[in-house]
Amino acid sequence: MSDLSNDTIIEFENVSFSYNSDNNAKDNEVLHNINLSFKKGELVAVVGRNGSGKSTLAKLCNALYEPNNGRVIVNGIVSGTEKNDEEIRKHVGMVFQNPDNQIVATIVEDDVAFGPENLGIDPLEIRQRVDDALKKVGMYEYRLEQPFKLSGGQKQRVAIAGAIAMRTECIVFDEPTAMLDPLGRKEVLSAVRTLVDEYGITVILITHFMEEAAQADRVIVLNEGCVILDNTPEKVFSKSDLLNSIGLDIPQITKFCALLGLGNSVLTVDQAYDLLIPVLEKNS
């Protein structure tokens, strides 16, 4: 066991990664010397352009990839050996972008049971976990449906339930809403928020949507394999020039409020509304 303080769930220590490991040239590196720690119960968004290293970072979190240099430590377990990696994947689950690529069974509840079944868990316990997981994502009524009949947002929620049924403490989402319509996005995001707020699950959310990142507790900005910002969404999105220079947007509302001189850390419609209502009513 390591000496990490026990509120840390995942720790990156000087992590570098390259897809081309036989050729150790530095220019092939996708991530350079990353140091990060994720705290239990946090909702952390990771943003960055295509090719910035976001998905690689995600896959290092649950030992799908091994770092070339440095260490990834999950709950005190260092990734890199078969035994440790297997253990890490029980702690950290993943949900990918395309809902159709990660559903394996023909009935919703069978799909959710797939993970725990592979862990060799007692059938009665599995039953309980599946029901519980489906309730947490609001899909319990659909437990006997065929997955192909569900909408994209519903399928993603089934995939999330699959991760919860493994009793993972942390779920890494790799652009879970990229293929969904606005309604599906809302459903998945609110399921994610529930996981964090009500069940204390740690969530790492990789996204291209700045409005989604604005709802996180913390935002990490990656550019060309390096962490260039790591702070609250208010602080991160106040750096609009820096973000624009690396090809990222800031939320519309943040931009609007900055133009109006209402500060550069307003993130949501509701916050802007609360700021505007008193100043506007005085005038009428």
Residue 31 C-beta: closest distance to another protein, Å: 17
Which CB sits closer to another protein, 49 or 167?
49
Kindly list the distances between the CA atom of residue 251 and the CA atoms of 17, 107, 116, 237, in Å, as whole numbers in the listed order. Answer: 31, 39, 39, 8
Taking the least distance from each CB to another protein, the nearer of 39 and 59 is 59
Residue with Cβ nearer another protein (97 or 232): 97
Q: Minimal distance in Å, beta carbon 180 to another protein?
A: 8
- Report, in Å, the least distance between residue 89 CB and another protein: 26
Q: Which is nearer to another protein, 33 or 97 (CB)?
A: 97
The minimum distance between CB 189 and another protein, in angstroms, equals: 13
Task: Tell me how far, at minimum, the Cβ of 158 lies from another protein, in Å.
Answer: 16
* 221 vs 227: CA distance, rounded Å: 6
Least gap, CB of 281 to another protein (angstroms): 8
Choice between 18 and 79, CB closer to another protein: 18
DSSP string, 69-85: EEEEEETTEESSSHHHH
Around 184, how many Cα atoms within 13 Å sit in the side-chain half-sphere? 19
CB of 114 to another protein, least distance (A): 24
Residues 6 or more apart in contact with residue 65 via CB below 8 angstroms: 17, 56, 59
Instruction: Return residues touching another protein (CB under 8 A).
Output: 48-51, 97, 151-152, 175, 178-179, 181-184, 208, 210-211, 247-249, 251-253, 255-256, 259-260, 269, 272-273, 276-277, 279-284
Phi, psi (degrees; rounded to nearest 5) at 176: -70, -15
Phi-psi region of 251 (alpha: psi -120 to 50; beta: other; left: phi over 0): beta
In the bound complex, what is the minimum distance in angstroms from residue 211's beta carbon to another protein?
7
Q: Which is nearer to another protein, 78 or 276 (CB)?
A: 276
Rg (CA), the chain: 20
> Which residue's CB is nearer to another protein, number 200 or number 247?
247
Residues across the chain:
284
Q: Is the dihedral of CA 194, 4, 17, 102 positive or negative?
A: negative
- DSSP 3-state assignment of 284? coil
Q: CB–CB of 159/168 below 8 Å?
A: no
d(CA 109, CA 43): 27
Q: Which is nearer to another protein, 172 or 250 (CB)?
A: 250
Nearest-angstrom CA–CA distance, 139 and 108: 9
